[in-house]
A and B are shown apart, each in its own frame.
Chain A
Amino acid sequence: MTAILAIFARDLRLAARLGGDVLTLVLFFVMVGAVVPFAIGPDRVLLAQLAPGIVWIAAFLAMLLGLDRLFRADEDDGSLLLFHHAAVPLEAIVATKMVAHWLLTALPVIIASPLLAVLLSMDQATWLRTMLALLAGTPALAALATIGAAVTVSLKRGGLLAPVLILPLSIPVLIFGVAMIGAPEGSSAALLFLSALSLVSVAFCPFAAALALRVSAE
């Protein structure tokens, strides 16, 4: 348990010391949402209609942006190699880093989502569903991002490859995420699907990512 807390505290502390990353992520998220109205014109009805898709795309891109730092720094300074000999299994380390990654990328985006709701003229009920959908769906994205980062960590320029790899895998999250925000009548079923996707990928990810790390150590 000490070990798990130590990894968790270390990742959060490093993020706090490096500072800018979280802010960049939030600004990126808000700006993607802010740019769309310029692209499709000031039609409030159309904007509100497209809002669920825009929010998800923005959240999705923001999470992909932060993906590479999951294992890259540890790979570069040699820590990742030593994790293989830690007193806790590599799977537990990966799972902890995944939770820290969610806290550092998804949570700021969720907290910033009201800003986007205003920019996209969402009503309050839609905005609440958006928050709920992001809360339920982003763990799945974080889990997939962890797998993507683990698979590409040994490639020196894997930064762009990982998003391309996991993008197709995360389409179900987008489908149910948008379905949940868009239509009030179908939202509870979509929420269940989103939660199921998150639970399955979060449970599955530490093993897949740890396996990828073991193979890539070769």
Chain B
Amino acid sequence: MNPPNALLAAQNLTLVRGGRQVFEDVSLDLAAGEVLLVRGPNGAGKSSLLLTLAGLLHAAGGTIAPDEPQPMHLLAHSSAVKTRLTLAENLRFWRDINGANGLEPGAALERVGLSGLGSIEAGHLSAGQTRRLALARLLVTDRRIWLLDEPLAALDDAGAGLVAALVAERAASGGGVIAATHDDIPGATGTLVLS
């Protein structure tokens, strides 16, 4: 019933957190090559929707297909960076944990504009650089589905361009991206508005 290139589909999702209904009857389809933007005011449940799709929150109603958890990358609010490890150590750790089928840590750092900083501790990075390091984590392991929560937060214009380029590459190479954002990501193929 699903088209062969479908990555993720959700039907009539309803989420209740802390006794409050966060969103109701949300449906979405993500196929290979698509970039879906999730929009809505603060508190509309954008982050919660991503966590639900990642299988970390359980929906009160609705279905997510496929049933079994898919290998996916989640870029959440917090960057999951250890400040006392060097940039290269941080990336090597995620590469070892998630699977080493992506870029080498050095190449990933170069791709996100942090080349030459591999041996300094991540605690010395600025907020924007930390966010870039978090993006590099998505590159060291190749996974088809990316769920990005505010990927442009703390990034400068060049950083925003970088996110757009990475997202476009991911989509072009047969992956799919769902991004919750207030800004525009060029090349988006669809928009879902939560109210």
Contact = CB atoms under 8 A, between A and B. Distances in A.
Interface of A: 2-3, 5-7, 10, 13-14, 17-18, 73, 76-79, 81-88, 93, 217-218
A218 B98 contact: no
A189 B57 CA distance: 47
Given A77-B79, A78-B80, A217-B56, A86 B97 contact: yes
Q: For A17, A82, A84, which residue has the most chain B Cβ atoms within 10 angstroms?
A: A82
Interface in B76-133: 76-85, 89, 92-94, 96-100
A2 B96 contact: yes
Contacts of A85: 54, 69, 71-74, 98
Interface of B: 54-58, 69, 71-74, 76-85, 89, 92-94, 96-100, 141
16 contacts: A2-B96, A6-B96, A10-B82, A13-B89, A14-B85, A73-B82, A81-B78, A81-B80, A82-B74, A82-B76, A84-B56, A85-B72, A87-B97, A87-B99, A217-B56, A218-B57
Contacts of B78: 76-78, 81
A77 B57 contact: no
A12 to B, nearest CB: 12
Contacts of B83: 77
A82 B96 CA distance: 13
B33 to A, nearest CB: 22
Most A-side CB within 10 Å, residue of B55, B71, B77, B78 = B78
Contacts, number: 72
Main secondary structure of the interface of A (DSSP, over half): helix
A10 B93 contact: yes
A85 B53 CA distance: 12
Nearest to A217: B56
B96 A81 contact: no
B97 A3 contact: yes
A27 to B, nearest CB: 22
A100 B73 CA distance: 26
Contacts of A13: 85, 89
A10 B77 contact: no
A79 B57 contact: no
Contacts of B84: 14, 17-18
A18 B76 CA distance: 26
B82 A77 contact: yes
Query: When A and B form their complex, which 3 residue pairs have the shortest distance between CB atoms, in order from nearest?
Result: A78-B78, A6-B96, A78-B80
B76 A2 contact: no
A5 B96 contact: yes
Contacts of B99: 87
